Amino acid sequence: MEQGDTIVAISTPPGKGGIAVVRMSGPQAIPIVRKVFKGKEDITVSESHRAHHGWIVGGEEPIDEAVLTLFRAPNSYTGEDVVEVSCHGGVFVSRRILEVLSDRGARPARPGEFTQRAFFHGKMDLSQAEAVADLVRARTEASRKVAAYQLEGGLSKRVEQMRRRLVRACSLLEIELDFGEEDVEFASREELIRMLRSLRRQMKLLLDSFDRGRVCREGVRMVIVGRPNVGKSSILNSLVERERAIVTEVPGTTRDTIEDVLDIGGLLFVITDTAGIRESKDPVEKEGIRRAEQALERADIVLLVFDGSEPLTPDDEALARRTEKIRKSLVVINKVDLEQKIEISRLKRWIPETPFLKVSALKRLGIQELIRSLEQTVLSEGIPHEGEIVLTCVRHRDCIIRAEKRIREAEASVRKGMSQEFVALDLRGAMEAIGEITGQTTTDEILDHIFSEFCIGK
């Protein structure tokens, strides 16, 4: 962060709307805005958290009637003096106000710089800052709940509790080092092992929560696969209730992956329709098949689609054999409105433990049953309840994995009767790893990466 800079940005999305908000933060925020705001009161002596009505002007030219809200340091979002100008919505008006404030000495904010300043001024820790971005991006009730609880500090409190236990144990071991010649034991080895086991159990619970937390944050990656012309695109269209994909009777119509989203049970399903998987010499179709196979590898749940009006083919069998070990999948027999020629018993021998559903995507028969089955399959472990602490991002999971590994190594050292130095070294490594979650121990590179993913103005 460039100390002393006053930054400015439009905090509302571009486009037409009732209002737009231009936000400015920094030591010169109030003096700068005073030059362009004409109201009845002197804003330089105004109390914090007060709104003022007036006009934003450029020289002598009135630009827009606006409401100016002041937040004085340290009682603001960033911990600095903050000014928010609420003006009429529209691309031109907000940009013109941004230009006027920039001309008076504020510089354009970088992505996430307001929240970055809030982090540096102790208004929130790093995991809470990440939750701000998650809350902005939330597209379902589940993702909103998880992000809101993390913003409230649920994960931070749990991490801090674990860190304090490590700090205490490490401190006692290091005190022992100062009394090395007197052979004094400040930390009981039995108690230390019990504490380390307890921490590992807590960390395992957090790691086990990652799959549920990730799907709440990012959505469920669902892939529809099958050989050409079994009705994959028709199923996508029926699920999202619009003509998202082109449907024809010509096999191989879909040459690329097509993606759409659907809210099921409060979770976001990111649905990918793929090119039909079969042997092909067509270079375009082969590329589509390659992308379908990539999507299949990343999937959380797979819909295996078969044409009920035709006998099973070698391509059907190859696909079934390939996907039989996928943890979460559903078999969908499509075109049940036509005469059925598919051998269900043979298909069940290929995929014995996968649920089967019958639908007609064209006539929307069985689509609601399919949606209910998707919900039951994905939500079998449940959406995180209010107040439950879960891991939602890979960075946090990796920190916990590294911390748990160092604690295991510390426990092994204690059991072998090794010197306090080795145990304390591992405990410090665990402390640093979990400290990265909240930003107590982190690098500029990590911070820059995290805040660069924020939108400008937040």
CATH of the domain at 105: 3.30.1360.120
Mean pLDDT of 349-359: 87
pLDDT at 383 (0 to 100): 67
Neighbours of 186 (CB within 10 A): 14
Q: How far is CA 417 from CA 165, 414, 422, 456, in A?
A: 21, 5, 10, 54
Q: Are residues 59 and 75 in the same domain?
A: yes
**Mean pLDDT over the full length of the chain:** 85
Same-domain pairing of 230 and 373: yes
pLDDT at 255: 43
Going by pLDDT thresholds of 50, 70 and 90, the confidence category of residue 3 is low
CATH number at residue 264: 3.40.50.300
pLDDT score for 332: 92
Domain of 355 in residue numbering reads as 219-381
Q: Which of 100, 123, 146 is the last residue of a domain?
A: 123
Q: Are residues 341 and 269 in the same domain?
A: yes
Q: Give yes or no: residues 240 and 324 share one domain.
A: yes
Residue 265 lies in a domain: yes
Domain membership flag for residue 171? yes
| pLDDT score, position 298 | 77
The predicted-structure confidence for 227-252, as pLDDT tens digits, reads as follows 888 888 888 888 888 765 444 454 44
291 and 393 share one domain: no
The more confident residue out of 377 and 291 is: 377
Mean pLDDT of 266-284: 71
| Domain CATH for 136 | 1.20.120.430
Shared domain for 290 and 405, answered yes or no, is no
> What's the pLDDT at 127?
93
Q: How many domains does the chain have?
A: 3
Kindly state whether residues 166 and 184 are assigned to the same domain: yes
The pLDDT of residue 95: 94
pLDDT, residue 181, reads 53
Q: Confidence band (pLDDT; 50, 70, 90) for 62?
A: very high
pLDDT at 403: 95
312: in domain:
yes
Domain membership flag for residue 89: yes
The answer to the question of residue 444 being in a domain is no
Interval 171-216: pLDDT, tens = 877 776 655 555 555 557 788 888 899 999 999 999 988 888 888 8
Shared domain for 394 and 417, answered yes or no, is yes
In a domain? residue 453: no
Q: Is residue 113 domain-shared with residue 135, that is, in the same domain? A: no
Cα-Cα-Cα-Cα torsion 41, 43, 47, 53, nearest 10 degrees, comes to 60
pLDDT over 50 at 29, yes or no: yes
pLDDT-based confidence at residue 430 (cuts at 50, 70, 90): very high
321 plus 355 within the same structural domain? yes
SS (H, E, C) the chain: CCCCCCEEEECCCCCCCCEEEEEEECCCHHHHHHCCEEECCCHHHCCCCEEEEEEEEECCEEEEEEEEEEECCCCCCCCCCEEEEEEECCHHHHHHHHHHHHHCCCEECCCCHHHHHHHHCCCCCHHHHHHHHHHHHCCCHHHHHHHHHHHHCHHHHHHHHHHHHHHHHHHHHHHHHHCHHHCCCCCCHHHHHHHHHHHHHHHHHHHHCHHHHHHHHHCEEEEEECCCCCCHHHHHHHHHCCCCCCCCCCCCCCCCCEEEEEEECCEEEEEEECCCCCCCCCHHHHHHHHHHHHHHHHCCEEEEEEECCCCCCHHHHHHHHHHCCCCCEEEEEECCCCCCCCCHHHHHHHCCCCCEEECECCCCECHHHHHHHHHHHHHHHCCCCCCCCCCCCHHHHHHHHHHHHHHHHHHHHHHCCCCHHHHHHHHHHHHHHHHHHHCCCCCHHHHHHHHHCCCCCC
- Non-local (6+) Cβ contacts of 426 within 8 A are 406, 407, 409, 410, 413
Domain boundary, last residue among 381, 406, 428? 381
pLDDT at 251 (0 to 100)? 46
pLDDT at 284 over 80: no
Residue 116 has, within 13 A of its CA and on its CB side, a CA count of 23
- Of 70, 93, 123, the position where a domain reaches its end is 123
For residue 285, pLDDT over 90 is answered with no
Whether residues 310 and 365 share a domain: the answer is yes
One domain, residues 258 and 360: yes
In this predicted structure, which of 98-107, 285-294, 442-451 has the lowest mean pLDDT? Answer: 285-294
Query: Which of 71-85, 311-325, 417-431 bottoms out in mean pLDDT, i.e. has the lowest?
Result: 311-325
Give the pLDDT mean for 116-140.
91
pLDDT value at residue 246: 45
Q: Residue 455 domain-assigned?
A: no
Q: Sheet harboring 267-273: ordered strands across?
A: 258-264, 267-273, 220-225, 301-307, 329-334, 356-358
Q: Does any domain span residue 61?
A: yes
